[in-house]
């Protein structure tokens, strides 16, 4: 995979060397077959090859000349029961998972005969693999910690304390959708995908997050006199480059503290109920400051609410 990770740490060059070696070793190990892994059919191999092509086409569309190559060996097809053993409890029912730092994805292969559903999952996870990754070097314990994956932020000491997980999934879905939409006719023909399969496959894996993002883009565009499509393009580009200019625009548009609301979307710390999405959606479509304040209190965990208020004062 011709993609560099950004390694940070305030250490000397020797420390960087061990970190690079460690990462390299894990990246090579990710190619190895998992016990019980399913063989890929020639059609599935062809789909992965196509997805690589489309992914690079998407990069070019937003003005990037980086090249992503995901070898098919990095995408592990696992029967459901093996998938459940391989991933953490909270991910056991997910259709797939990507480990961006080590270039590895697992696909939860169930009995669904809908190939489009399967290919969309592979595409979604491969998009994750292409996203910007930042790792922290810990010289004392000779460890590497994930700090960023796309828009998602992790805290090195508290891995459950993550931010912008929902935004990250929404952008991953967006890229998946753009690729599908642009190439749908060719893909349907090449893989003889039926209209029924298309009708069955959901447009997004994380519909609720995506709807919140739509509200945000509309708000940012209208308040700053910007073209919506340009913002979408930038959002995609920054998912791969790691720039976070967009987040500043969000705060400028929706007020100080509003990033806490966006950061909390999809966070493991607070129950992400249907009701909470509605509140987030309302937060980003409401221009009344007072109402936003009320909503913020309801949406955020106690700790985040305190930080929200600090930011406002
Ligand atoms: Zn995802």
Joined together, the tokens standing for residue 196 give: 């029924």
Q: Are residues 245 and 217 in the same domain?
A: yes
pLDDT digits (tens, 9 = 90+) for 35-55: 999 999 999 999 999 999 999
Q: Are residues 195 and 211 in the same domain?
A: no
Question: Tokens 């129950």 map to which residue?
Answer: 271
Work out the pLDDT band at 289, boundaries 50, 70, 90.
confident
Give 176 Cα–ligand 1 centroid separation in angstroms.
10
Taking a C-beta distance cutoff of 8 angstroms, is the pair 82, 112 a contact? no
Give 165 Cα–ligand 1 centroid separation in angstroms.
9
201's CB contacts (< 8 A; 6+ apart) are 114, 116, 117, 120
Q: Are residues 55 and 176 in the same domain?
A: yes
Give 10 Cα–ligand 1 centroid separation in angstroms.
31
Give 278 Cα–ligand 1 centroid separation in angstroms.
21
Give 206 Cα–ligand 1 centroid separation in angstroms.
8
Q: How far apart, in whole angstroms, are the C-alpha atoms of residue 114 and residue 98?
A: 21
Give 97 Cα–ligand 1 centroid separation in angstroms.
7
Give 209 Cα–ligand 1 centroid separation in angstroms.
11
Q: Are residues 232 and 193 in the same domain?
A: no
Give 4 Cα–ligand 1 centroid separation in angstroms.
21
Single residue among 200, 224, 258 that ends a domain in this structure: 200
Domain that holds residue 20: 6-200
Give 124 Cα–ligand 1 centroid separation in angstroms.
6
On whether the pTM is more than 0.85, the answer is yes
Give 13 Cα–ligand 1 centroid separation in angstroms.
34
Q: Are residues 195 and 53 in the same domain?
A: yes
> What pLDDT does 249 receive?
92
Higher pLDDT pick, 154 / 126: 126
Higher pLDDT pick, 112 / 261: 261
Higher pLDDT pick, 18 / 66: 18
Residue 91 above 60 pLDDT? yes
Domain assignment present for 146: yes
Give 148 Cα–ligand 1 centroid separation in angstroms.
14
Give 226 Cα–ligand 1 centroid separation in angstroms.
28
Q: Are residues 190 and 212 in the same domain?
A: no
Give 129 Cα–ligand 1 centroid separation in angstroms.
10
Domain assignment present for 237: yes
| Cα distances (Å, whole numbers) of residue 262 to 24, 170, 208, 221, 247 | 34, 11, 13, 17, 9
Domain assignment present for 122: yes
Give 205 Cα–ligand 1 centroid separation in angstroms.
8
| Cα distances (Å, whole numbers) of residue 195 to 178, 192, 279 | 18, 10, 35
Q: Are residues 195 and 212 in the same domain?
A: no
Q: Are residues 123 and 223 in the same domain?
A: no
Domain assignment present for 1: no
pLDDT digits (tens, 9 = 90+) for 183-214: 999 999 999 999 998 988 887 788 889 999 99
> What pLDDT does 1 receive?
44
Q: Are residues 176 and 213 in the same domain?
A: no
pLDDT digits (tens, 9 = 90+) for 207-240: 889 999 999 999 999 998 999 999 999 999 999 9
Give 35 Cα–ligand 1 centroid separation in angstroms.
24
* Stretch among 132-141, 218-227, 233-242, 264-273 having the lowest mean pLDDT: 264-273
> What pLDDT does 311 receive?
84
- Give which of 83, 75, 94, 8 is closest to 266, Cα–Cα: 94
Domain assignment present for 268: yes
Give 128 Cα–ligand 1 centroid separation in angstroms.
7
Q: Are residues 176 and 64 in the same domain?
A: yes
> What pLDDT does 213 receive?
94
Domain count of the fold of the chain: 2
Give 173 Cα–ligand 1 centroid separation in angstroms.
7
């Amino acid at each position: 995979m011709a993609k560099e990770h950004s390694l940070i740490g305030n250490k000397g060059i020797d420390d960087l060397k061990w970190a690079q070696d460690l990462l390299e070793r894990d990246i090579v190990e990710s190619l190895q077959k998992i016990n019980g892994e399913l063989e890929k059919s020639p059609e599935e191999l062809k789909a992965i090859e196509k997805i690589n092509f489309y992914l690079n086409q998407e990069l070019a569309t937003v003005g990037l000349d980086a090249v992503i190559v995901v070898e098919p060996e990095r995408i592990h097809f696992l029967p459901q029961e093996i998938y459940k053993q391989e991933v953490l409890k909270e991910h056991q029912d997910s259709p797939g998972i990507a480990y961006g730092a080590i270039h590895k994805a697992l696909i939860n292969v169930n009995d669904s005969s809908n190939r489009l559903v399967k290919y969309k999952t592979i595409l979604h996870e491969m998009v994750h693999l292409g996203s910007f990754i930042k790792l922290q070097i810990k010289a004392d314990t000779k460890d590497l910690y994930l700090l960023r994956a796309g828009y998602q932020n992790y805290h090195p000491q508290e891995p459950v304390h993550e931010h912008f997980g929902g935004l990250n999934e929404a952008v991953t879905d967006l890229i998946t959708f753009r690729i599908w939409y642009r190439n749908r006719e060719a893909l349907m023909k090449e893989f003889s995908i039926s209209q029924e399969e298309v009708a069955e496959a959901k447009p997004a894996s994380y519909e609720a997050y995506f709807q919140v993002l739509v509200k945000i883009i509309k708000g940012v565009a209208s308040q700053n006199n910007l073209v919506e499509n340009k913002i979408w393009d930038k959002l995609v580009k920054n998912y791969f480059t790691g720039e976070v200019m967009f987040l500043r625009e969000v705060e400028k548009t929706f007020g100080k503290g509003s990033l806490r609301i966006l950061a909390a979307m999809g966070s493991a710390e607070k129950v992400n109920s249907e009701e909470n999405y509605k509140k987030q959606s309302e937060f980003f479509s409401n221009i009344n400051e007072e109402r936003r304040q009320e909503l913020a209190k309801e949406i955020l965990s106690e700790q985040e609410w305190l930080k929200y208020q600090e930011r406002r004062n």
